Structures are given as C-alpha cells and as structure tokens.
A and B are shown apart, each in its own frame.
Chain A
Amino acid sequence: MAKWMKLGGLVLALGLAVMPMLAQEAAKKKEPPKPAPSPSAAVLEQWNEIGRKLIIISEDLPEDKYDYKPHADSRTFRGVLLHVSASMYYFTDFAQGKKPRYPDDPKPADLKINNKTDLIAFVKQCVKDGADVIKAKGDNGMNDAVDDGGPHLDRLYDLAYALIEHSGEHYGNLVVYYRNNGMVPPESRPKK
C-alpha cells in the first residue's frame, strides 16, 4: 500500500490522480481539479518531479556514504548522482543544438565537486538547466525534431521523457543503496 500511495503521489504531483485513494478521498473532494496541463507543462512537471527526488537524495545522503557501492562493478552513491545529473544534458544540450557537454561520466575533480555542498549544487543545476530549456521551448518548440544519435529522429518531448525514464532508473538504484545502508529513502518516510 505504501508503494501504491507513493505512485499515487507521483501522479498526483503531475497534476493527475489516476487512481482513487480512499485515504485521500476526502481531501481530494475539497480540492478543485487542477487545470489540464499543456503538453510542455506536463513534461516539465515530470522532469521536475524526478529532479526533486534526486535533489532530496543529494541533500539527505550522509557524506560518509558517498563512496558506498553494492558491488565492485556498480557505481558509488556519488557516481550515480553525478551520472544521472550529467546525463540530463543529453536532452538539455541537444535541445539547444549542441553536443552533450558530458559524453562520459564527469569526474568530481573535473567539476570541482569537493564536498556535499558542491554535489547538491551540481544536481540542482542539471535539473534546472533542463527545466529552463523545456520552458523556453514551450508547447511548439518541444515538437521540434532532434538527431540525438539514435537510429531515428526524436521529438524534444520524447527525448525529455527518455531522460526522465533514465533518471527514474538511477533513482531506483539509489533507493536500494539507501536500504542496503539501513536507511529509509526520503520518499518512503512518513509525510510530516
């Protein structure tokens, strides 16, 4: 049920409650339905939602866990956060007619990430830069076709959603990393 409420929270946060949740039914009835989001507003909400979850993890994660990895071949906590954030430029830069600035995972030293404050700032910047591009492109601009190196062209909409899914995959990695360290992921904690 907890996971179901989490999923419901996600969708609600996107402006859509896809499913009835009895516990929140009364609250829902009091709230007027949100106006239907425009297509670019909808992708922006999903971009910011997964971005929010990653930013919260970057803020919440104890610095002494940064080098944890569940297996020798896995990325560390820090490595996952750097990878998932830097990868967002596969949307952000392509959308602006540029090559992605981080074709490979950036190294903390290259980015001058020396501590937790720097890492949080980097994650926030990556999320914000993508969000700014979505807003600047708007409904029409997000329909533009882009050659992102794949076998076919993509619309910017679909490229943004692909990076949102990619962010979700690595957010999923981090959820298990949390549990393996005896910690509860921020999204799974009781809401205050």
Chain B
Amino acid sequence: MKNWRLVVGLVLVAGLAGYLARSQEMGKKEETAKPLPSPAKLVLGQWNETAGKLIAMAEDFPEDKYDFKPTPAQRTFAEQLLHASGTTYYFTNLANGQKPPAEEDPKRADFKSKAEIVAFAKKCFADGAAAIQARGDKGMSDWVEDPGSKHKMQVASLAYGFIEHMGEHYGQLVVYYRLNGLVPPESRPKK
C-alpha cells in the first residue's frame, strides 16, 4: 500500500512537473508567437504599407482616366501620384544626409505614359524604404535638421510625417476611384 502511494505520488509529481513544463513551454510559445519587430522594421512596415496602397492604385487605375480631377482646383489622378511620391524625397534626402529637393512636384508633362508614372512612384517609395533600412534601428533615433530653419526631428518621426502625408493623398484617390464608378483595390474582396 505504501509502495502504491509512493508510485501514485511520484506519478502525480511527475505529471505536475510535466504539466508545469508544458505550461511554461506554451507560455514561451505565446510570448514568442507575436514578435516585436525592431524600430526600423516597424517604420519600414508602415512606409511600405501606405506606399504599397498607392502603387496598387497607380497600377490599377485606367490610363485613360489618369488626368481625371473632380474639380478644376484639384490635382489630377496622375498629379496626386506624382506629388505623393515625389515629396517623399523631403524625407529620403534628409535621411541620407543630403539637401532637400529644390522643387516640389515633378511635372506631369515629363511623363509620357502610365508606365512611367508607376515606375517613378515605385522608385520614390523604394528609395525611401532603402533610406530607412540604411539608417537601421539606431538611426531611427538620429536627429535630422532642416538646413533652412535648423529645426530638428528624429528620423522615425520625420518618416511618419511623410507616411501620414502619403495617407492623405491616398484618401483623396479613394474618392477619385468612387467618382469614376470604380472600387479602390483595397476595398475589393480579398482573393
């Protein structure tokens, strides 16, 4: 009887130990199930997310509607893309230790086709992404200074300022889509 009790006791202890070990293992798995990306990866993720939505629109929108604008005071679809992508160099250049661009928007007339505008937008966003990657985690906290005003801001905050700016123009283009009776790519059922 004593032995029986001992065996049961040992089994219980072993079982409990095993259970605790498994619980800890599961806890570890839960902890590691969702990683926390590094600061640069988080910024890059949001940069690429918004840029990706703009690129999807640039590729998707019919070329014969590229010069559509809802009212005369607004930019055309093409001009919105050129502006949203071209202004990213006010981030990219500073992040790369270069002077900001001299001009705001590339001229529509300099682009002969939709393909050229798509390529331009892709290049702008890729250059910004490359600057974030080159700066790396430590570089996200580096300070950049506007050569004119001498105002300072950290690279990450500057990047996010331009991500928000890209978002504003993406939001405008969503309505351009709807006004043309088209569904924006992001609003279509996922395949």
Contact = CB atoms under 8 A, between A and B. Distances in A.
A124 interface: no
Contacts of B90: 7, 11, 18-19
Interface string B86-127: 010011001000001100110000000000000000000000
Contacts of A147: 34
Contact of A161 (B71, B149, B163, B171): B163
Interface in A15-64: 15-21, 25, 28, 31, 33-34, 36-37, 39, 42-43, 46, 50
B160 A164 contact: yes
Contacts of A10: 161, 165
Contacts, number: 176
25 contacts: A4-B104, A14-B157, A15-B151, A16-B149, A18-B91, A19-B148, A20-B147, A25-B148, A43-B157, A50-B164, A70-B178, A70-B179, A74-B175, A152-B37, A161-B46, A165-B164, A168-B165, A168-B166, A172-B167, A172-B168, A172-B172, A175-B172, A176-B70, A179-B70, A179-B71
Interface of B: 34-37, 39, 42-43, 46, 50, 70-71, 73-75, 83, 87, 90-91, 94, 100-101, 104-105, 141, 143, 146-154, 156-158, 160-161, 163-176, 178-179, 181, 183, 187
